[in-house]
Amino acid sequence: MRFTEDPYDPDAEAIPEEEPLSRFLLRFTLNDAMGSAPYGARTHAMPTERFVPPRNVLRPVPLSPFACADERFLVAPGLLARVQGDEERTILDLAALHRGTLTPLLEHGFRWSTFSE
């Protein structure tokens, strides 16, 4: 399987998918769940070292990132997170089934671009 940023551009580079189909589908499903969750939050880009506190609660999903972006998934009971970034800057996306699952994250003092309350 290959990923192409623009499938309509005949000169676009095709990047091979690293995961087997079953793991690709799991990653795709997690990505879809992020978009369909009733409650969500997203931080502005922040220094990566600020991301340490929530990472202590969230467990990483052992999947490689999509070929087009450095995105990793993390989970906790009732919470799904997607982390995008590098050694310097990180953006944290969160998705939850219940609003109360997001509320404890307010105490970390992140600057939120969106937050379901």
More confident residue, 80 or 1: 80
Region 27-50: mean pLDDT is 91
Q: What are residue 74's DSSP bridge partners?
A: 60, 81
Task: Count CB-CB contacts under 10 A for residue 1.
Answer: 11
Whether residue 2 has pLDDT greater than 60: no
Does 3 score more than 70 pLDDT? no
Averaged pLDDT of the chain? 82
pLDDT value at residue 15: 67
**CATH class name, domain 20-115:** alpha beta
Task: Kindly give, in sequence order, each residue whose CB lies less than 8 Å from that of residue 61, ignoring residues fewer than 6 positions away.
Answer: 26, 30, 72, 73, 74, 75
Measured distance CA(73)–CA(20) in Å, rounded:
17
